[in-house]
């Protein structure tokens, strides 16, 4: 957004560089562009690790893939080129899931969509996504360190969404239905 519109997205709306803020502040076109780039980071990083190290999403390759995923999300939240003030990591996490297995990514996207539509809050959909990642880790028995990484990533997401949860409690959080009406 900054290079196209000459606007620093972090000075608008919620104050972060993520897709939700871009949609809310600059509209769907820029929001989807931001989301596409952020998802792409996750996909490319995982595919590179899988290719370079000849590993797949299984207990043998889990540690390296989870460390990579956590690094991508941390890089999304704390990008050095943006003075360490980025997004909240959700789109990067979706990209990681798609890179691990496209079906996991599709299920993750569906979880966000369904929970967001049911609750009218993207933040609650994001929480459901992080719980899904923990569930995948447990279901596929990826090990204690990957489980710790997925739990700490979920806690990091929870922390960065605390202002959103406060706004939900105060009835000031933006609702999906409002954003959709605005887009018409």
Sequence-distant (≥ 6) Cβ neighbours of residue 128 within 8 angstroms: 111, 112, 115
Model confidence over 75-96: pLDDT tens digits? 999 999 888 888 899 999 999 9
Q: Dihedral of the CA atoms 86, 57, 123, 152 (nearest 10)?
A: -70
18: its two tokens:
């993520």
Please check the confidence at residue 132 and state whether its pLDDT lies above 70: yes
Q: Residue 44's domain spans which residues?
A: 2-183
pLDDT for 16-42, tens place per residue?
A: 888 878 877 787 888 899 899 999 999
φ/ψ of residue 179, rounded to 5? -65, -40
The total number of structural domains in the chain stands at 1
Whether 65 and 118 have beta carbons less than 8 Å apart is answered as no
């Amino acid at each position: 957004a900054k290079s196209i519109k000459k606007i620093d997205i972090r000075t608008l709306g919620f104050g972060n560089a993520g897709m939700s803020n871009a949609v809310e502040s600059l509209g769907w076109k820029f929001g989807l562009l931001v989301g596409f780039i952020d998802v792409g980071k996750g996909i490319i990083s995982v595919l590179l690790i899988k290719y370079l190290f000849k590993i797949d999403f299984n207990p043998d390759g889990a540690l390296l893939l989870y460390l990579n995923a956590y690094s991508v999300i941390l890089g999304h939240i704390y990008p050095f080129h943006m003075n360490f003030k980025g997004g909240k990591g959700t789109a990067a996490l979706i990209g990681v899931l798609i890179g691990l297995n496209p079906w996991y990514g599709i299920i993750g996207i569906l979880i966000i969509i369904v929970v967001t539509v049911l609750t009218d809050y993207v933040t609650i959909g994001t929480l459901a996504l992080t719980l899904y990642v923990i569930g995948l880790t447990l279901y596929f028995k990826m090990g204690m360190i990957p489980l710790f990484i997925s739990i700490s990533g979920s806690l990091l997401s929870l922390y960065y969404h605390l202002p959103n949860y406060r706004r939900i409690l105060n009835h000031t959080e933006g609702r999906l239905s409002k954003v959709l009406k605005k887009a018409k």
